[in-house]
């Protein structure tokens, strides 16, 4: 039996994704200062945004339950992120073009 995240946890994860998408312009400015001359700014920013979302959610989850997510919950977290990640990448590409 696969349990995964409960509805409240899924809503928390989705709200973290939405919140971080609103701040994409500031993250673009931030990554321009960090990115070395080689590499892709969009790939770096995409990884940074997903890392921020995942890190924030894991911290909230750990504080709420006093433990790390189990395998089923991790699977559910990554599945939810994978559903939203094309939208995140599209938004990044659109906004990075506005800054170049």
Query: For residue 1, what pLDDT is reported?
Result: 43
Please report whether residue 71 resides in a domain: yes
Question: 2 in a domain, yes or no?
Answer: no
Q: Does residue 31 form part of some domain? A: yes
Q: Chain-centre distance of CA 10, in angstroms?
A: 13
Mean pLDDT for 30-53 is 79
Residue 98's pLDDT band (cuts 50, 70, 90): low
pTM: 0.77
pLDDT band at 38 (very low <50, low <70, confident <90, very high): low
Domain membership of residue 1 (yes or no) is no
Q: Domain count for the chain, please give it.
A: 1
What's the whole-number average pLDDT of the chain?
Answer: 83
CB count in 10 Å sphere of residue 41: 16
Q: For the chain, give the longest Cα–Cα distance.
A: 49
* pLDDT at position 36: 60
What confidence tens digit (pLDDT) does each residue in 48-93 have?
889 988 999 999 999 999 999 999 999 999 999 999 889 888 888 8
34 part of a folded domain: yes
Whether the CB-CB separation of 20 and 11 falls below 8 Å is answered with no
Domain encompassing residue 57: 7-99
Distance in Å from the first CA to the final CA of the chain: 49
- Is there a domain that residue 69 lies in? yes
CB 31 within 8 Å of CB 48: yes
């Amino acid at each position: 039996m696969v349990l995964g995240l409960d509805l409240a946890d899924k809503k928390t994860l989705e709200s973290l994704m939405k919140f971080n998408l609103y701040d994409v312009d500031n993250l673009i400015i931030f990554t321009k200062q960090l990115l070395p001359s080689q590499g892709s700014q969009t790939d770096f920013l995409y990884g940074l945004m997903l890392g921020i979302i995942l890190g924030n959610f894991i911290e909230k989850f750990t504080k709420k339950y006093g433990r790390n997510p189990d395998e089923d919950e991790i699977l559910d977290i990554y599945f939810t992120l994978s559903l939203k990640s094309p939208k995140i990448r599209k938004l990044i590409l659109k906004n990075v073009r506005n800054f170049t």
